[in-house]
Amino acid sequence: MKRPEVIRFLRSFFSELKNADPAAQPLKPFFDLILSLKRNLPLSIPLLRELADFAKGNEGPLFRRIDRRYHRLCRLQEELHSLDLKKAAHGNVKSFILEDYVFSQIDFSRYRQMGEKDFGRLFPDGLGDFDDAFFKKNFRLGRDEIRAVIEGSYKKEDGLYKLQRENPLILSVMRTLETSLEDSPLLRPAEIEEELKNLLDFIKSEKIPHMELLYPLLVSSLDNATVSHEDGMTTRLFVSAQGELSGTFQPAGKAWTRSLLRLTP
């Protein structure tokens, strides 16, 4: 599709969004356009590509982002299942400190040597699940510094990632990336707006009316979507009447419902 055709398509598409019925899949033509654009073009629209891939049922970055949230819940469920609070506090109830006991039960040895799949879930894509403030708060380091710490601490040998220099920082980083529930929203309006701006800049077009209607519709398109994980469990996404996108996960068959983003502040 040539530039004038793309501009005409977008003007028509956004003008029709005013009265679009989400049940009629109004985003399909837009997603088809996004996927038709070659990936080697100097055009940065990763989130829009993710959403288009997800709508097609492809296991792209958005699928993996949801899958990582599921695996974090699985790890937390494993740890909760292994705790024996009655045994831990027996005979010494007054001096029992829950936080200390939970910390003492953490198996940090799992981070000394990790399979390629497990390591790949945490790094590097896992870093993108958290915002910059998260890294500063937990480690007093920025995202790029944490990336450098991980790259300098692990070496791949015979299909395994082996920890070369064990220290409290790298163990804490890997543990946090694997279990923290402080991840960022799946999508943000500002990110979508920026990508739409990139698209318009690429086709050399001015802002098109009604573009602000796209983000709510993108969120609505995820209502009742499902994600199947490799262990056979399924996560269902749903949008509440208040516009909150949540996911019901099933780690070890236990239902966990988590908010994934809010449509309004």
- Give pTM, 2 decimals: 0.85
Q: Is residue 155 part of a domain?
A: yes
| Predicted pLDDT at 84 | 57
Whether the predicted pLDDT of 96 surpasses 50:
no
| Predicted pLDDT at 27 | 93
Whether the predicted pLDDT of 95 surpasses 60:
no
Which of the given ranges, 3-7, 65-69, 80-84, has the highest pLDDT on average?
65-69
- Domain holding 132, by residue range, is 80-179
Q: Is residue 171 part of a domain?
A: yes
- Average pLDDT of the segment spanning 134-144: 96
Whether the predicted pLDDT of 87 surpasses 60:
no
| Predicted pLDDT at 85 | 54
**30/25: higher pLDDT:** 30
Q: Total structural domains in the chain?
A: 1
**23/147: higher pLDDT:** 147
Q: What distance, in Å, lies between the first and last C-alpha atoms of the chain? A: 37
- Write out the E strands in 46-159: 113-115, 154-157
Whether the predicted pLDDT of 190 surpasses 60:
yes
Q: Is residue 122 part of a domain?
A: yes
Q: Is residue 148 part of a domain?
A: yes
Go through 143-162 and write b for each residue having 16 or more CB atoms within 10 A of its CB, e for each that does not.
Answer: beebeebbeebbeeeeeebe
Measured CA to CA, the distance from residue 234 to residue 250 in angstroms comes to 7
Measured CA to CA, the distance from residue 229 to residue 239 in angstroms comes to 21
- Local confidence band at 228 (pLDDT 50, 70, 90 cut-offs): very high
* pLDDT > 70 in the chain, percent: 91
Q: Is residue 135 part of a domain?
A: yes
Measured CA to CA, the distance from residue 27 to residue 256 in angstroms comes to 29
Q: Is residue 202 part of a domain?
A: no
Computed on alpha carbons and rounded to an integer, the radius of gyration of the chain in Å comes to 22
Q: Is residue 211 part of a domain?
A: no
Q: Is residue 167 part of a domain?
A: yes
How do residues 48-62 score in pLDDT, each as one tens digit?
Answer: 999 999 988 888 888
